[in-house]
Structure 1
Amino acid sequence: MKVLRLLLCLPLLSACQDPQARRDTAALQARVATLETQLRTMQAAPPSDARTVTASAAAQNCANSLTRSLETFRQNSLDDRYPTPAELQLPTECVDLHVNWVQRSNRAYTFTVADERNRELARQSSSSSGS
């Protein structure tokens, strides 16, 4: 009975969330969905060797670090925007990789991380980029 009451209260509690919390929740849900998709893909076709695994892990680490930098900048900016190219320094995790911007604006981004042969190893998007 208590569980039923709690379930009935959930829509009311979620309606009380502020817009920023909703955006943050949506962004986290999108990132979790992306990671789950990547995990399923890797489980379906496991990498063939240690070099491939290492390159994929390094690219994902770069993508996660860059996303963290972009989101931290946006959260700390007064006008809730992402950094311009001049305001952004790539994280050290991205030093030996290529970051390719598919979409980049004050409100949204999508980028890929590629190896030296320009093979896409990771992709990240903001929750508002529509990708």
Structure 2
Amino acid sequence: MALISISEAAKLAGIARSHFYSQYLNSGFISVTRDEKGKPKIDTSELVRVFGVLTAVQRTPEKTVHQDSAESASNPSKNEATQTAMIELLKEQLAEAKEREKFYQQQLTELSQTIKLLEHKPTSEPCKWWQVWK
């Protein structure tokens, strides 16, 4: 059978890679071989022996830029409405963020003034009565 990487083996087994390492590889249930570059590989026959029938990994097709542009070209009014709504939402969020920043700046100023009032400023020692000339 074929040699596959540990990540692929975990996907085919339907379990997490960390669980695959801890329960099967480190305990010795599944034997690991090394390829010519020294990378660990697992024979699929080992997976069939331990797990039985393997599940095929379902890959979801990713949208390409070309598909997105084709969709936007076919329905421009919907796209414009979505973009307009998004712009309005972002403007509202920006206004809220500016208000919040202004509020925090005001709080910071007030707290700085309060700290200045609370600071201990030692006064100069009063002159002793016999040192009037100082």
User: TM above 0.5, one fold?
Assistant: no
Computing the radius of gyration over CA atoms, which structure comes out larger, 1 or 2?
A: 2
Whose strand proportion is higher, 1 or 2? 1
Please state which band the TM-score falls in when normalised by the shorter chain: under 0.3
